[in-house]
Amino acid sequence: MKARIGRPPLDASDPSVRVCVRVPSKHYDQLYTKAGASRVSVPELIRQSIDFRYLKQTSKPRRP
């Protein structure tokens, strides 16, 4: 059996869902810099931020 090419699944027991997010270029540049400093990709930094800030909150998220 041939090995699959590409990134391994995030969670083998739960399929991933593709999401597209648009950000201004200056925000992307900031994300890219922070991701590089943390030695992770920009998508991984976004996943970590969502998990840490919003999924672990006990109260409702604020609306902008």
pLDDT at 2 over 80: no
The three-point CA angle 61-36-20 to 5° equals 45
- The end-to-end CA distance of the chain, in Å, is 50
Mean pLDDT of 32-55: 89
pTM of the predicted protein model: 0.67
Mean pLDDT of 33-61: 84
Report CA 54 to chain centroid distance, whole Å: 12
For the chain, how are helix, strand and coil distributed in percent, rounded to 5? Answer: 45, 0, 55
* pLDDT band for position 63 (cuts 50, 70, 90): low
Residue type, 12: A
pLDDT at 29 over 80: yes
Distance (Å, whole) CA 31 – CA 45: 8
Higher per-residue confidence, 9 vs 26: 26
Domain boundaries, the chain: 25-55
The model's pLDDT over 4-13, given as tens digits with 9 standing for 90+, comes to 777 778 888 9
